[in-house]
Amino acid sequence: MSRRGRRLKPADQNRVVEEVIHRSLLAQDQDPRGIDQILFETIFHERQRLEKEKNRDKAKKELRFYRKIQSEALRANPELQRDLLAKVIRNFTKEILGNFDIRMYQMATRAVPVVLNFALHALSPLKILRELPNGLSNIDDQVIISGETKALQKVTQLGTTIVLPTHVSNLDSILVGYMLHNLGLPPYIYGAGLNLFSNKVLGFFMDSLGAYKVDRKKKAKLYKDVLKIYAGYSMELGYHNLFFPGGTRSRSGKVEQKLKLGLIGMGLNAYIHNIRSGKKHPDIFVIPCTINYQLVLEAETLIEDHLKEVGKSRYIIEDDESYQIKKILDFLNKLFSLDSRIHIRISKPLDVFGNFVDSKGQSRDHCNRVIDRKRYVMVDGEPEFDSQRDMEYTNELANSICEAYSRDTVIASVNLISKVVLDWLKENNPGLDLYRLLRTGGNLPSMPLIEIYKRIDRTLASLKKLAKAGKIHLDETLQGRDTVAMLSEALAHFKDYHVHQALERRGDRLYHMDRELLLYYQNRIPAMVEAS
């Protein structure tokens, strides 16, 4: 497989900075608030952020910068204020750009499987002994990449791609990097939370795998505009992009059904720019993909955050399991010792309007007719921007992405068993609302196994029907195994890793303990499955 991609030279990097500044300024010129208000608002937000910044040396340096800008802006005419705004934009752009270097990318992607394999060897001597006659074990056994892999490989040759994975864990970034490497795809650039770069384990991979820095603590609208413009311009230049359109890890465990549209919309923006400039390969393709775990590293912290009733959930969590090296190693150990699979499932490629794209890169409507997608942006025969129209087009794309996520979610035994147990609890405690049920467990601490087995069979039959209709996917733990084995599989996963055990079998009864964890894993099942 040849790697079509561009090497990011220093000259390119400077060009990107200057163009992003230029476009950002043009965008601010259109803002009805006016340059002066944008400038002072940005300074206000930044000063607020910096007052809470833990790194005081860094904060002092930046505060000096903003104080200087502010004092000059107060005395400046509009033209000078615009220059000051350009300085702020330059500051933002340079931070965002990161240090992507293709040589480091290639080294890091080769390192990922080696590092994970090493962890496997270090922690699971039995597995080494078993596999010695066959050589070293292979991460490919543990991470299953399926779905439209060939289509993804094809469209990266035909245009610029935007890969949009679901997001449940901070390990997702590494796994996606592994997936891209495994499929022989060209380098991707992507935005990673600035907080992740402080994580020693993950930070190395972020810098090397093409991550640009996204500081989610920056609230100023200007910063978000610069971020979007940077991402969009990189797409125009032909750099493949990757980001998590849910914005953050799913706290509830649910597959994303509400997406951040700003970055997604930059694909369309880049496409229109490309057509207007007569670019040879103007097309932008969008590829949703789901990442599916039997066990989620940060599940306990995430669901607890979701359920917090007092105040807003923490949007940025900086002290969860993914920041504790021992926790990560325990997690990996658990996964490998259970032979647990991580499924990465790639959906059919889409165009920037949400239509399916075939293997030749042609857009197809629901009746499989070829669509001339350029026509969507034509006004009297010329490609034009129209912000309201384009926002609606992006909504269409977002709907298609969410449908793909739902369809390509891979359901495992932990999800099924969690749903069965919670359904039983709800039915047997009709007077309790969900939160009280989760906290108290109702009036029965356990349930008869016989009944659970029957319910597992019934629910599995519904899931199989939906899988046959192509509406969801079932992993190997739900296929070709009997009910008892399925339950044992799920219980083995719940045991030992999480702080509190979710379920435990004692004799002929099943005891429920950490019901919040059950809710987390149950939530993975898409809503339409719930309704059926």
Partner 1 sequence: MTRNQKKREPSKPLEVLVVGGGSFGTAISTILAEHDHRVKIWVRSKEQADEINNNHTNERYHPGIKLSEKLLATNNLGASIPGTHIIIVGVPSKAFRQVAKKIGDYMEGDQIVVHITKGIERGTFKRMSEILREETCALKIGAISGPNLAKEIMAGHPAGALVASHYDEVIRETQALFSGGRFRLYGGHDVIGTEIGGAFKNIIALAAGVADGMGFGNNTKSLIITRGLSEMARFGVALGADVFTFGGLAGIGDLMATCASPLSRNHQVGVRLAKGETLDDIIKSTDQVAEGVTTTQAVYEQAKQLKLNFAIVETVYSILYQGITPPEAMIQLMESPVGTELSRLNF
Residue numbers of the site for partner 1 (CB under 8 A)?
30, 353, 355, 365-367, 369, 371-380, 382, 384-389, 392-393, 395-396
> C-beta of 250: minimal distance to partner 1 in Å?
24
The nearer residue to partner 1, 100 or 393, going by C-beta atoms, is 393
The nearer residue to partner 1, 365 or 457, going by C-beta atoms, is 365
| DSSP code at position 162 | E
> C-beta of 275: minimal distance to partner 1 in Å?
13
Q: Which of 254, 289, 257, 306 is nearest to 415 (CA)?
A: 254
Alpha-carbon gap, residue 369 to 420, rounded angstroms: 42
The nearer residue to partner 1, 323 or 353, going by C-beta atoms, is 353
The nearer residue to partner 1, 146 or 462, going by C-beta atoms, is 462
DSSP H or E run through 383: strand 382-383
Q: Evaluate whether 267 touches 376 at the Cβ level (below 8 Å).
A: no
Bridge partners of residue 160, in order along the sequence: 284
The nearer residue to partner 1, 72 or 384, going by C-beta atoms, is 384
Q: Evaluate whether 396 touches 496 at the Cβ level (below 8 Å).
A: no
Pairing assessment for the beta strands 370-371 and 363-364 based on DSSP bridges: antiparallel
The nearer residue to partner 1, 352 or 438, going by C-beta atoms, is 352
Q: Which of 304, 174, 308 is nearest to 242 (CA)?
A: 174
Alpha-carbon gap, residue 23 to 25, rounded angstroms: 5
Q: Within 13 Å and on the Cβ side, how many CA atoms surround 64?
A: 5
Pairing assessment for the beta strands 188-193 and 240-242 based on DSSP bridges: parallel
Q: Which of 73, 86, 385 is nearest to 226 (CA)?
A: 86
> C-beta of 382: minimal distance to partner 1 in Å?
8
> C-beta of 531: minimal distance to partner 1 in Å?
10
Alpha-carbon gap, residue 295 to 328, rounded angstroms: 12
> C-beta of 384: minimal distance to partner 1 in Å?
5
Q: Which residue in the block uniquely carries the two structure tokens 């300085």?
A: 87
Pairing assessment for the beta strands 284-293 and 160-165 based on DSSP bridges: parallel
Backbone angles phi, psi at 137, to 5 degrees: -70, 160
> C-beta of 269: minimal distance to partner 1 in Å?
11
The nearer residue to partner 1, 30 or 134, going by C-beta atoms, is 30
The nearer residue to partner 1, 11 or 367, going by C-beta atoms, is 367
**In whole angstroms, how large is the CA radius of gyration of the chain?**
25
Pairing assessment for the beta strands 503-506 and 509-512 based on DSSP bridges: antiparallel
> C-beta of 363: minimal distance to partner 1 in Å?
8
> C-beta of 254: minimal distance to partner 1 in Å?
20
> One-letter amino acid identity for 259?
L
The nearer residue to partner 1, 339 or 386, going by C-beta atoms, is 386
> C-beta of 148: minimal distance to partner 1 in Å?
21
Residue 504 sits at the vertex; the CA angle it makes with 501 and 508, to the nearest 5 degrees, is: 175
> C-beta of 373: minimal distance to partner 1 in Å?
7
The nearer residue to partner 1, 26 or 434, going by C-beta atoms, is 26
CA distance between the termini of the chain: 43
